[in-house]
Structure formats: structure tokens, C-alpha cells
A = this chain, B = another copy of it.
Amino acid sequence: MPDVHTHSDQVLRSLRQSGPLTRGELGELCGLSRTTLYEVVSRLVDRGLVVATVPDTGPRGRGRPAERLALNPDAGRVLGIDFGPRTVRVAAMAVPHDDIGTAGEPCPPDAPWPERVALARRLAGTLTGGRLRPGVLDGVGVSVTDPAAASSAPAGRRTLTALIGRAFGTRVRLDGAARLAALAETVWGAAKGHRDVLYLELSDRVGGGLVGAGALHHGAHGRSGEFGHITVEPGGAPCSCGGRGCLQTVASTTAVLNAYRATADVPDLVAALRAGEPAAHAAVRRAGTYAGRVLAGLANALGPGAVVVGGELATAVPALMEPVRRELRTNVVRYGSQPPLLVRRAELGDFAAALGAVFLLRRPTDAASSKSGRTAFNPAP
């Protein structure tokens, strides 16, 4: 029933843009027959996305005022929570309204899970204006830095999911932060409009995510996206994974800082690059070259339409993209008729994973409405 979905989107979009409307106005705006409109609206009312209201302006008794249809302000709320290493971030979305609010707060890396979840609940409360009552939430998408670590944490993956489910009284879906950032950049960010996207994240940890035909790729055991452990220097420096010469050993924030100067932090590196210090440029060039080679190999294998590079390092150091682009240009096979590969830095910043977590819970129907381009971001400070 693709038509029903399209019509639902059309009706929701019209109510979003114009506010409450009578059935007559709505039918005209959407170009739908009375019968079709009746069916579509009934479904939306049944799903709780639309409510009928009678305005109490104007004098009563002189003819019944026309009933108006409006978006249900309590409906279809979805939360995305990103439990980062040092911050908890929340994105809240009212699906029929298609607008998003975000909030974040620092959280000590050693804080126990119940404390982090309580913080997330408080942040969600501020975003939903006290509307966070049981039954209001459609679901919570959760992002953790490393789903593998979350599974082996004292709370355990299942326990963590249950803990969050109890705190929010709704269903919970959990995924990895880099993978969710890939999804967010595809839906709303640098790769918007693409359906096959390769996303590399360069931060303390090097990881990534793959979107194929519009869907997040997970692999057989939910482990896809380990770009940081692709070998770039056989027999190279030892890596935390037990291997040697992994991309992570040359392109993580720490690796690049160490290659420049052992005591440097990111602002030091940025200042040194501005000052034209050769050691800083060499460190960045090396990281970008290896990152670019990994991306080129994956681009040959996967044939994406867009490559996006994000994370702390890519955000702070735009110069990193130059060797990345060069390696992609040199090493990706191209066919005459094919549009060029789009190569961009990530756009969504620190909230990318929380936004991706929101998308974990959106229904396929909802995805269509985001094409309207009216999605509003209110990045928190």
C-alpha cells in the first residue's frame, strides 16, 4: 500500500506546515478525494498521530464550528541517547512534527550506568517540556561508543537495555556510536540524499559505519565498521586489539598527537598547523594518507556514492581531508558514465550519534517526511 504511506506523509506535512485545518481545506491542499482523505485521516487518528479539535473561538450556537484536524502534540515522540565517554547527549524528536531538540551534559567516565541513565532522563525531560509521561514515548534509541564493551560491562548489554527500558517505560534499541553517526550523516548530514555511504570516524577511537541501499550494515555478529583495525602497515606499531599497524595506530587523535609531539593536545596541533610546523603537517599527512587508502579500498569494494569523514580529529583538522581526497582520487577505479564520488567532512558534529539513535526508532514511513527538509536542529551548547 505505497499510496497510503505517501498520502499519510502528505497529510502530516500539510498539518505541519499550515497548522490545524478543516477536512475540506486538507483535502484541497493534498489533492485527495473525500473518500481517500477519510481513510488516511482515520488511520492517522487510530495511530494517535492526528487529533480532531473544535476551536472555542467565535460565538457558539450559531452553527456548529467546523472540526479541525491537527498534529497530536503528544504523539510519536522518539528519543536518541548517546552515552559518550565523557558526555551524555539526548536528541528528542516528535515524529509527526519532524522537529528535533538536543541537549547534552558532561558525565564522568567512571559514572555507574544508573547514574548515566538518570542524567539522560533529566535531559530528555527538559527537551519534552514535561510531556515525558508513560505512553508518550514511541521508543528510545541508544548509542554506546563500543557495543562490544557495553556487552561485557558490569551492566551487560541486556541489563543496560532493560535498565533504560524501565527508566523510560518503552522499547529500546542499542547500536554503536560510529555506526549511528554514519546513519545520521546519511539521513540529515553531509551525505543527505545518498543511499550508499561510507563513514569513517577519526577520534580517540577509529571506527565507522556503512550504509547500503539506505540501511545500516551490521555484519554477521553486529561487528561491522571496525575500520580502525584494518592493517595499514604490516608489522607496524602494536595496537590495543593485539594486532600491529592498524589504522588506529596512525590515525586516532592520540596517534596523530603523539606523532607530532608527545605532550601536545588538539589545540596545540591546530596552532602548530596554522604556524606551518613541518612535524605537525607530516603527522596529519600520514594519518590522512592511510585513512584515504583504507577508504579507497573500501570504496572499490562497496561502490558508495559518498564518503564522509567525521570525529574529533576531522572536525578540528580540515587539512586532513587533502591527503584523504588525493588517495581516493588515485586509488578508486572509475567508469566514464559514473557520477564522481562525493567526499565530505561530517556536518552534524557532537550530536551525530544521538541523532542516528533517533533514526533507529523511526518507521520507514517517517523517513519520507524528512525529505521535506524542514527538520530543525537546535544543537545544545
Contacts and interface: CB of A to CB of B under 8 A. Distances in A.
B305 A230 contact: no
Contacts of A148: 335
| Max count, chain B CB within 10 A of own CB: residue among A195, A243, A305, A337 | A243
Contact of A305 (B221, B293, B306): B221
A122 interface: no
A169 interface: no
A222 interface: yes
B230 A300 contact: yes
Interface stretch (A37-45, A58-66, A206-214, A355-363): A206-214
A301 B224 contact: yes
A351 interface: no
Copies in the complex: 2
A350 interface: no
Nearest to A200: B301
Interface in A184-242: 194-196, 208, 210, 212-213, 215, 217-227, 229-231, 234, 241-242
Nearest to A196: B220
A304 B231 contact: no
A173 B226 CA distance: 34
A337 B150 CA distance: 13
A378 interface: no
Interface string A226-269: 11011100100000011100100000000000000000000000
B303 A222 contact: yes
B226 A303 contact: yes
Contacts of A229: 300, 332-333
Given A217-B212, A241-B333, A338-B223, A297 B300 contact: no
B300 A227 contact: yes
Contact of A234 (B213, B219, B241, B293): B293
B293 A294 contact: no
Nearest to A306: B220
A319 interface: no
A293 B246 CA distance: 12
Contacts of A196: 219-220
A243 B301 contact: no
| Max count, chain B CB within 10 A of own CB: residue among A148, A231, A242 | A231
Interface in A271-312: 293-294, 296-298, 300-306
- Going nearest first, the 5 A-B pairs with the smallest beta carbon separation are A219-B303, A220-B305, A223-B303, A224-B303, A229-B333
15 contacts: A194-B220, A217-B302, A220-B303, A220-B306, A221-B305, A221-B338, A221-B339, A224-B301, A227-B301, A229-B300, A230-B296, A231-B296, A294-B297, A297-B297, A301-B301
Given A217-B302, A226-B300, A226-B301, 13 more contacts: A212-B212, A220-B304, A226-B333, A229-B333, A230-B296, A230-B297, A230-B300, A231-B296, A231-B297, A231-B331, A234-B293, A243-B330, A298-B301
